[in-house]
Amino acid sequence: DIEPKLKTWYESTDGGTASAGLLLAELAPEPDRGKPFPNDMIQLLLRTEKGAQNYSWSQLTACLARSLDVQDTTASISQILEELLPPTDQSETGTSSPPQTVHL
């Protein structure tokens, strides 16, 4: 089930349409895979209002239900989400601890 990982990714992006564009671009069929989507295209796919900067969880899941191809497997989507998720080895603030000084 891809939903928990998708939900984690969605929450990490705060529902920003720019982030959705990255995901949708990675899910696009060849030869468009990985190419940036124009904002208008992202809004059309998510069915948001023109100029919207955010989208809802239900808009994302409906978009994916409409748009996924038979070649999009749970494993391939999971891998894309892992690549798009921010690193988890840092604290909530996104800062890492300072390097330790070694005294000889």
The string of pLDDT tens digits covering residues 14-50 is 999 999 999 999 999 888 899 999 999 999 999 999 9
Who contacts 48 (Cβ-Cβ below 8 Å, separation ≥6)? 17, 54, 55, 59
pTM above 0.75, yes or no: yes
pLDDT score recorded for residue 26: 93
Q: Using DSSP, state whether 41 is helix, strand or coil.
A: helix
Q: Tell me the pLDDT tens digit for each residue of 62-73.
A: 999 998 887 888
